[in-house]
Structures are given as structure tokens and as C-alpha cells.
Structure 1
Amino acid sequence: MFRTKAGLPMLWVLMPFLLSLNFGACQLVLATVPPRPNVLFIVTDDMNNDLGCYGNPRVHSPNIDELAKRGMQFDRAYCQVTVCNPSRVSMLSGLRPDKTQVYTLTEETRSHLGDWVMLPEYFRKQGYFTAQIGKIYHTDDGFEDPRSWDVEIREFGKRPPEEEIIAGADPDGPGEHTNDWSVLKTPDEETPDGIVARKAVEIMEDAVNREEPFFLGVGFRRPHAPFAAPKEYFDMYPPDTIDLPPSVPDGYYENLPEAAINYPAPEKPLSEKEQRELIAAYYACNTFVDAQVGVLIDAVDRLGIADNTVIVFLSDHGYHLGDHGGFWHKMSLFEESDRVPLIIYAPGMKAAGQSTEQLVELIDLYPTLVALTGLSERENLDGINLTEVLNNPEEPTKPAAFTVVSRSENPAADHAKNMDYLGRSVRTDRWRYTEWDGGKRGIELYDHQNDPRELKNLADDPKLADTRSQLKNLLKSSHSLRKTP
């Protein structure tokens, strides 16, 4: 069973082996050296917080929910960039985007990082067996990082074969982003993500048999579009049972900077039927990913390594599903795009089964995993060590979380591939403050205490001038350009 004995230390248990010899009053005490903790690092693509444990009762996610009960759920975790490649580079380097200088899908992982030691590579250098199965870094040469891994099985099968598709649609959505969904007749174990989960289990079994500590990066493609999953998951979400997001106030877009809109709207708005189908398909993919996470957790249980394996579950960024009056996909600086699911389980943690409201960022994972496994502290990282929060969910972390996103001068261009300027956002306990192009293209200010959906831009409210000034200084102090390592 996936349980931890009461009273275990934070990292692992030192189990003394006592051998008593009758040499008068002498005793010889021999102590076994504890094995180094393993790391199971699970990354999903484009998954928002629409999960049961995060408060969406409509979404079936029993395995992720169970992991949250065993570990700690971070209710306010934020990515550093709201698109895949730069988010992953920041997270895996432990550095803010101002240091990685990777903001789009076209900038390669080490374009400005040189020989910087990435998270899995650091474990490899410390004697860990490291393996990538699926999407951990972004895909293709120049974006992957072979030096991080002993075994590298890259992402494959982005689109399902036509002969496996039972039903589907491809509505004309915003921008150039894909909006298609597909119901598959493929069984789980024959889908790309199903293969990734089962191959990861094989590699885990081999490492356990070799008694070799491992760092396994297991990356699932879904729920990234196209929303493709086996039929049984779609059956859980009949579109006519799906609720649409609440409407926005009249005049909402008139008080919103143009740069804040992530993708140009389609000439013909999505119908309510198309919206429900898209949301249902997305939910189906979340549940499909949950089942693959279950395959991994079951293997940890079966192999009896739960008391010596740190497990992390996260997404690279959030996702819009028609909120804010018609936002879809990512690439914004709103809560739905910036906030991510994050769960950490560590053997012996004192706050197992609890959640925390403390602000955390994905760059915090690097120093946290180094600390949880007892490795030498890694210098010059931008994140913080979260181990104390795992023992006490009230333990203070940081005053704010920061997220950036790129923008192109041409609204019809793909912002994810072309950058002419940046949007920068700071999220504190109460406020979100955002500047576009240093404020030249607009400012946003939202009060989460009274407006959790971020629908009323208070940037021009004279009564909040002091608040705006404080947040501006906070944003500037943390996101000023710094030299790369």
C-alpha cells in the first residue's frame, strides 16, 4: 500500500541493524545506509485545474485526487510562461524567463543557457539513473536535452490515425490554434500516452531490480489539442450536460487592453453546441490522463517503493475553456492560463493529505526536489525550497508569483512563435497586476478578494493608485532583465 509509517523523518528512514556480540559489555552496532529517494516527475500538457480535487465535481480524476490525499495539493501554483516550450525551459532550469531568454516556441532550450545544468541532468550527475518517457522538454532536436537522460524516449503520435477515429469535429476556433477533437476506438494501452505510462513502468521496474535510484520524467501529451481519447472517456461527458462559463459584464472588452486578448476571434463565433463539445472533449482528456497517472501510481504501490519515492504531478500551464467572454487555449495573463495543478508527495511529510494556499511557482520544483532527495544544494536557482510547506501548509513562501507571455505586432500572427514585446504579470495574495510592453500597451489590475474571475479592470481607479504603484515596483524588481548564468 502507498502509506508512510508514522513518525518517519522528512526524507527517508534510517533503519539500524543491530548485531549484539557477547564481548563483555561491548556491542557492535552496524547501520545500513538508506537508499537515496527516487523521483517520479509527471508532467501533463495544457491541463488546467478542472479536476475533482481542485473543486470541479464534473470532472472524474480519482487517481490524481488520491495522490492529493497522500501528498500536498498546491492551490495557488503558477507557471512562469503560458506556453509549452518556455514554461518547460524555465521549470527545468529553475530560472525565470528573464534568464533563460526563452519566450516562444521557436527559441531552443539552450539558446542562452550554455552548459547550465538542468534539473534531470543534476540528478544524473549525482549518480541517479534518469529517463525521459514522453514530453518533458519541448519536442524535436534543439528543444530536447539529451545530456539530461540515460534513456530518452521522446514524444510521438501527436495526432491519432484516421482509422482509429470514431467521431470528431474541427470547429473554426480563435487564431491559428487547433480546436479539433476525436473519439477513438483505440484501447488505452495502444494510445501514445498509454504507451508512455506502461513503458515508464517497465523502466521503473528495471531500475528497482538494479537497486538504482531513479529520476523518471513521464510526460503526457493530453489534454493538449487535438482532444483525442478513447470512447469510454467521452461517454462520461455528454455535451448536453456540460455547463458553459458565466457571461461577462456588458462593456467588458472595452475596458480590456487589446494585448490582453490571446487569440483573434474567429469570423463566426463558436456555437453553444460547439463550445459544449469542446469542453466535454477536454474533460474527457483530463480523465484519460488521470487513468494513465493511475498506471504509474499502481506500479509504485506494487513495487513497494512508496516509502522511498518522491512524486510530483503538474501541468506546464493552464488553459481557457470559453471563459472571459470567449477565451480559449493559453497565451494569456489571466488566472485560468497562469495557474496550474501541482501536487507533491514526499515520504514522511507531516502535512500529507492537506492543501495549501501559499503562493508557489514551477521554478520552485528544482530546489525542492534537490532538498527532498538529500542532494547538495544547487546554487543560483531562482526558485525556493518548499519542503517546509510539506510539513506545514501555513508556512510562508513568497509575496508574489510572476508570469510572462510574448506578443507579436501582427494580431493575426501566432504569438507563440513571434515576439515583439512582452506582457508581465504579478500575482499576490489579493491582487493581479499586469503590464503590456512595460505599460505602453495597457495595464490591468484585478482584486481577487472581490473579483476572483478577473472581470473588472481597476487600473484606472484613482483610489487604488498606491496599490498600483506598489505592484508596479514589485513587478519591476523581480522581472528586470538580468544576466544569464
Structure 2
Amino acid sequence: MNLSIKIICTGVLTALLFSSCSSENNKGERPNILLIVSEDNGQDLGCYGNSIVHTPNLDRLAKNGVRFTNAYTTTSVCSPSRSSMLTGLYVHQNGQFGWATHNYTLFDDIKVLPQYLEEVGYRTGIIGKIHVNPDKKFNFDFRALPGSNFEKRNLSEYAHNAKKFVGGSGDVEEPYFLMVNFPDAHLPFQNDVDGLPTVKVDTSKIKNTLPFVGVNTARLRTETERYYNSINRLDESVGMLLDSIGDLSNTLIIYLSDHGAQFSRGKLTNYEGGLKIPFIMHWEEGIRSKNVLREELVSVIDIVPTILELAGGKIPEKLPGNSILKLFEEDYDPVSWRQNLGAGGVGESPVFYFPRRSIRDGRYKLIHTIDVGREEFPAYTAYTDPDFATGANQEEIEASEAQVQEAYEIFKSPPTWELYDLENDSWEFFNLAEDPNYKGVLKKMQKALISWRQETNDPFLDNIRLEKFTREMDSINILYPNHSYNKGRNVKWDYPNYLGHVE
């Protein structure tokens, strides 16, 4: 079934959600905007069907708003994903190819969300890390808790600072935009930090690891327990945040994760476990229907256009995303929404360099490994490292069923093409690219992929620029072996000068 046609609203069946697509409410006031971003978690929430976790606050937002089942990031790594949230551009368009801690950076002429919002009179604030370079480009009016806080300490401070920002304007009437970045569920997973979460998961209910992992052992189930407790703590952090702000009636709340969980075949990959994310919208004064499920393909690149439309700003034509508000207009035609959605990935530092692209439609997913002379996906080795607790190690993989072992062989040494039927194989264990029965589907998806890459000016379509980027990655890797967090912080990348920018 075409995903853009199927619309399910539990309780009220309707395609019209917003009382108005105007940027103002009935009182002529533009709404505030609260963007909540968590780290490294997929759709492992109660409202998405996970009965083990305890997520009443996020579930409540979904129950009184809109939940998107097919939401995706552009790259399954933090800095690149967040760069798309903040620019509305794919990573190969904005330049943030890897971790900000490794000095990857946006192209010089890229405009970011707080700059757009300043032009239309919004106060802007950010709590938690930006993790996109250059930092000076992000002209937020208010900043707090800029560190990563992977220890998950003092989580109530996120709520306290939100209250300070929201209530610190006195009689100023400008609406606000506030982005809050929580550290859960990033590694290391913790069952308890400062008494949080107050509700722990019931370990007797954990019979398996995350579905995309495939490997199921007691050790990995223990890691899954820690991950689920991190999700519970995230939800309690969201609850503290919402309580601290108070009146949110005229506030559009968007919640999402930056990418999937850091288990094997998740983060760092183009599999569903890495790219597919939770995405919830809630707006008390603007959403007419409640508990709405939407299956259209949406992406983090849609955040900037959505916010700009709501704020009364002009959406630049160069942005590849769409305002999600269009889905809720009375004359909305499902055919007018995207039928294909692409994603990228190159590696987060030179040691992980492995360029790839993927695209999916309403049913099928195609992953293309770009040939730059790499035979083995570096992320596979990282995940099977004994020191990497959440990865499936070699012994565990070899003890798994044959189809899981085959999937891990593909994960380790990907072919040029991987084709998956997401309707019958939602976690991509059966590669159909060589199956003659899917020859037509393969050609169709290959055509869609090349069209998307051309439309978005993918610089890696140019072999000369691709080879130059590969040489630069290799030279940095030699200069700073493994390019760890303790080395290479002074790297000056040359790629912004030859990979170009959005025209």
C-alpha cells in the first residue's frame, strides 16, 4: 500500500488535523516552538508499541497529537543528523560529514535555523549540545548546558534552564523557539543515575534484544535492559521539562531522536535500525484531532520548512524538505507528498570512512555502497570489538541462525547493492538485490536513487571530487591514527573548498 495514502486516526478518523495552517492562533499570536531531541534511540517507546519501557510523558504527547511511523534521519550519526535538523539540508549539501569533535564543519554559506528565526522576530534558545560547526554561526539568544553530559547527571537542570529561558523575557511579546537536547539514550547506558529513572524496566519481560540486531544472548539482553532504562530516564526528563515550562497551549512541540540505537546494525549504518526514528508533534491550540497516526515518509530535513511556515517566514526554494503542515491542509493530495526518501553516510571520522547512499519508497529499501576501494565496513569491526559492550561479538554471531550470520556477512562486507522488502522484512535480513524476481524493483529503486542524488547535487557523483575526498580522509587517518577524541582536534579540513555547496 502507498504509505502516503494510509491515514489512521485512533478515536477520530480524519485527514484534517490543524484548525488552520496559518502561522497565528485565534488570538493572532504566533505559536512558540519547542524542539526536543534525544540521542541514539529508535522507536522504542510505549506509543510505538514497546510494552517494556515506561514512557507516559512521550506517550501523552502522541495521544494528544500526531505520531509518525515512517520518520527518518539523513545520516545515522549525531553531528550530521543534527546539521540536517538545523539547516534543512542533506549532509552532502551542508558539509557536516562527520563529528563536530573531529572538526568537520558546515560549508561557509550555509544558513542555520536560529538565523532564519531571528529574521522573523523569534527569541531562540538551546539547552544541551549543538554539536555542529562552526559554533559561532549559531546565534541563539540563550544557551545552557553545552556539554554532551553522557554521564546523565543533573538532568533536572535542563528543566530549570528551560523555565529560565521561557520566563526570562518579562513583558517581551516575541514568541520563542527552544531546542532541548537530552543525553539519553547515548552510551554508556546506565540503569540508574541520581535515582533516575524512578521506574525501572521489568527484566523478566526482556526476551530478546532489539529486533534489528538479530543476535540474542543473555549479555546483549543485559545491555538492552540498560538501554530501556535510559529510555525511561529520557521520558522522565521530558516530563520535568514540560512541567517546568508550564503553559504550552500555544506551543508546537516536536519530539524526535537524532538517529537509532547504538547496537549492531543500528547507529553508523543505513539500515532501518540506524535511520528510523521516533517523531511526534503536539500542539494543543493548533491540532484539532488527537491520537493520530501518519505513515507518510517524513525526515529531519522537514523540520526547518515546518518551523519557518509556522513562524511566518519564507521557505527557501533550495531546501529539499517540505513543511509537514502541508499534510494537514483540507485540499491535501497524498500524491503530492514525497514517494521516495534518501539518506547518506560516509563515516564519522577517517577511521570509519565508508561512503554509501540509500533510498526507500512505500515498500522497498535500496542501499548503495560507493566503491572507494574499501572491502570491509569499519563499523562492523567496531561493533564486534570486545570492548564495545552493545555490539554482537564474533562468537555470538557464529552461534546465531544461518540467516542472521548471512546478514552479518553483508554488514561486514557489503555488496554494491542491497535491496530489502520492508513490508515482509522490516529489519532487513534478506537481501533481494541478486534475486531475478526483483530485477524490475531493483532497476526502479536504482533510478530513484540516482534521481535523488542528482536533484540534491550530491558531490560524490563526481568521481574527481570523490577521489579527492577519499585521499584527504586517508591522509588525516595516517596523520592521526584512528582520529580519536584525543587526537586531531586541530585538523583543518580542505573538503569545504572543493565539495561545493547548494546553489
TM range (shorter): 0.7 to 0.9
CA 1:126 to 1:248, structure 2 compared with 1: closer, same or farther past 3 Å? Answer: closer
- 1:275 matches 2:189: no
Counterpart pick for 2:312 among 374, 383, 403: 374
Deviations 1:212-240 (A, max 9, x none): 31111111011101113434537622444
- 1:63 matches 2:57: yes
The whole-number CA distance in structure 2 between the counterparts of 1:349 and 1:87 is 27
Aligned partners of 2:77 and 2:267 also within 8 Å: yes
Shift of 1:462: 1.1
The whole-number CA distance in structure 2 between the counterparts of 1:109 and 1:343 is 31
Shift of 1:119: 1.3
Unaligned runs of 5+ residues in structure 2 are 1-16, 374-414, 460-499
The whole-number CA distance in structure 2 between the counterparts of 1:236 and 1:107 is 33
- 1:150 matches 2:141: yes
1:469 alignment partner, SS class: helix
Q: Which residue pairs with 1:94 in the alignment?
A: 88
Counterpart pick for 1:431 among 354, 364, 387: 364
Aligned partners of 2:80 and 2:97 also within 8 Å: yes
Shift of 1:114: 1.3
Deviations 1:181-220 (A, max 9, x none): xxx9xxxxxx343211221122112237533311111110
Shift of 1:420: 4.1
The whole-number CA distance in structure 1 between the counterparts of 2:198 and 2:229 is 5
Q: Which moved more, 1:53-62 or 1:116-125?
A: 116-125
Give runs of aligned pairs for residues 282-297 of structure 1, distance below 5 A.
282-297=227-242
CA 1:198 to 1:122, structure 2 compared with 1: closer, same or farther past 3 Å? Answer: same
The whole-number CA distance in structure 1 between the counterparts of 2:149 and 2:105 is 25
The whole-number CA distance in structure 1 between the counterparts of 2:137 and 2:145 is 10
Aligned partners of 1:446 and 1:456 also within 8 Å: yes
The whole-number CA distance in structure 1 between the counterparts of 2:33 and 2:211 is 43
Per residue, is there more helix in 1 or in 2? 2
Shift of 1:105: 1.4
AA aligned opposite 1:286: I
Deviations 1:112-163 (A, max 9, x none): 421322112211232211111112x217xx4534533011224336353xxx
The whole-number CA distance in structure 2 between the counterparts of 1:272 and 1:240 is 14
AA aligned opposite 2:275: D
Shift of 1:377: 2.8
Give runs of aligned pairs for residues 37-436 of structure 1, distance below 5 A.
37-105=31-99, 111-135=105-129, 137-138=130-131, 142-145=133-136, 147-156=138-147, 158-160=149-151, 191-207=153-169, 209-228=171-190, 229-230=192-193, 231-233=195-197, 236-245=200-209, 272-300=217-245, 302-303=246-247, 305-306=248-249, 308-319=250-261, 321=263, 327=264, 330-346=267-283, 347-390=285-328, 395-396=334-335, 397-407=337-347, 416-418=349-351, 420-436=353-369
- 1:458 matches 2:432: yes
Q: Which residue pairs with 2:24 in the alignment?
A: 12
The whole-number CA distance in structure 2 between the counterparts of 1:208 and 1:243 is 52
The whole-number CA distance in structure 2 between the counterparts of 1:102 and 1:7 is 34
CA 1:77 to 1:8, structure 2 compared with 1: closer, same or farther past 3 Å? Answer: closer
Deviations 1:434-468 (A, max 9, x none): 11115984311111122122111101011211110
Q: Which residue pairs with 1:473 in the alignment?
A: 447
Aligned residue pairs, count: 396
Aligned partners of 1:356 and 1:394 also within 8 Å: no
2:76 alignment partner, SS class: coil
- 1:447 matches 2:438: no
The whole-number CA distance in structure 1 between the counterparts of 2:230 and 2:295 is 27
CA 1:109 to 1:320, structure 2 compared with 1: closer, same or farther past 3 Å? Answer: closer
AA aligned opposite 2:272: E
The whole-number CA distance in structure 2 between the counterparts of 1:387 and 1:457 is 36
Shift of 1:81: 0.5
Shift of 1:400: 1.4
AA aligned opposite 2:55: S
The whole-number CA distance in structure 2 between the counterparts of 1:452 and 1:298 is 37
Per residue, is there more strand in 1 or in 2? 1
CA 1:62 to 1:292, structure 2 compared with 1: closer, same or farther past 3 Å? Answer: same
Shift of 1:474: 0.8
AA aligned opposite 1:148: N
Aligned partners of 2:212 and 2:273 also within 8 Å: no
Indicate the RMSD between aligned Cα atoms, in angstroms: 3.0
Aligned partners of 2:73 and 2:258 also within 8 Å: yes
Aligned partners of 2:32 and 2:252 also within 8 Å: yes
- Tell me the TM-score normalized by structure 2: 0.72
Unaligned runs of 5+ residues in structure 1 are 1-5, 16-33, 161-183, 185-190, 253-269, 322-326, 408-414
1:288 alignment partner, SS class: helix
Shift of 1:336: 1.2
2:62 alignment partner, SS class: helix
Aligned partners of 1:121 and 1:148 also within 8 Å: yes
2:138 alignment partner, SS class: helix
Deviations 1:412-446 (A, max 9, x none): xxx54545441111111100111111598431111
Aligned partners of 1:12 and 1:348 also within 8 Å: no
The whole-number CA distance in structure 1 between the counterparts of 2:295 and 2:314 is 29
CA 1:126 to 1:284, structure 2 compared with 1: closer, same or farther past 3 Å? Answer: same
CA 1:357 to 1:336, structure 2 compared with 1: closer, same or farther past 3 Å? Answer: same
Deviations 1:66-96 (A, max 9, x none): 1112221111001000100111112211111
CA 1:246 to 1:206, structure 2 compared with 1: closer, same or farther past 3 Å? Answer: closer
Larger Rg: 1
AA aligned opposite 2:141: D
Q: Which moved more, 1:288-297 or 1:422-431?
A: 288-297
Q: What percent identity do the matched residue pairs reach?
A: 28
